[in-house]
């Protein structure tokens, strides 16, 4: 039977070895679909926008403006009228 000390023997000899093995493994994988790449690029800004959405939906004037014209209400509030933001507001305002 192999004990813990022998299983992990040599793992810390080269601190970059694990990273190099991971890099080599990643090079062998297929590239992600372009839609995934575009969605990943949008995530940081969308997450920040969702924080602003939480503040805005507490305001009655924003809720009324959103009911009249969702895209204009978001633009007036300084937010993009992107599908993720529109969906987030609609979801939070749904009864």
In this predicted structure, the answer to whether residue 2 has a pLDDT above a threshold of 70 is no
Q: What is the pLDDT of residues 56-77, one digit of tens each?
A: 889 999 999 999 999 999 999 9
- Residue range of the domain that includes 64: 4-93
**Residue 58 has what DSSP assignment?**
T
Q: What is the pLDDT of residue 69?
A: 95
How many domains does the chain contain in total?
Answer: 1
Q: What is the pLDDT of residue 86?
A: 87
Q: What is the pLDDT of residue 38?
A: 81
């Amino acid at each position: 039977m192999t004990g813990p000390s022998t299983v992990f023997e040599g793992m810390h000899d080269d601190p970059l070895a694990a990273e190099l093995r991971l890099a080599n493994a990643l090079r062998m994988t297929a590239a992600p679909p372009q839609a995934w790449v575009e969605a990943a690029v949008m995530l940081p800004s969308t997450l920040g926008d969702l924080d602003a959405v939480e503040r805005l939906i507490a305001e009655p004037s924003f809720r009324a403006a959103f009911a009249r014209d969702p895209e204009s209400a978001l633009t007036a509030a300084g937010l993009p009228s992107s599908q993720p933001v529109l969906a987030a507001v609609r979801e939070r305002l749904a009864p």
